[in-house]
Amino acid sequence: MLAMPAPNPRKLDARSFSPRDLRRLREDIAARYDELARRQQQVARYALDHPTEVALETVTVLAKRADVQPSSFVRFAQTFGYSGFS
């Protein structure tokens, strides 16, 4: 499991950005991890540990593997400024 750094003082404001590259997205997830709801933290850990699967699998498959509801992945994506998860 990845160790998460201290939280970033930024508020969770999905309108402020939506990272367009994996490096920045990983940095933003790590920086904001402690501010996320418990299920979103679960999605974050899965996403950071399995980036290739997240890029290639369906939300249904990912949710089953991460042991969360598919809607958790959708809300997670929206938290980071994306319109949803596809």
How far is the C-alpha of 81 from the C-alpha of 53, rounded, in Å?
20
Tokens of 80: 């980071």
In whole angstroms, how far apart are CA 70 and each of 24, 74, 84?
24, 7, 11
Task: Check residue 6 and give its pLDDT.
Answer: 44
Q: Which residues contact 31 (CB under 8 A, 6 or more apart)?
A: 5, 7, 8, 10
Q: What does the alpha-carbon distance between residue 33 and residue 85 come to, in Å, rounded to a whole number? A: 19
Per-residue pLDDT at 19: 62
Mean pLDDT of successive 10-residue segments in the chain (86 residues)? Answer: 43 53 88 94 96 93 96 92 82
Residue 15 DSSP one-character state = G
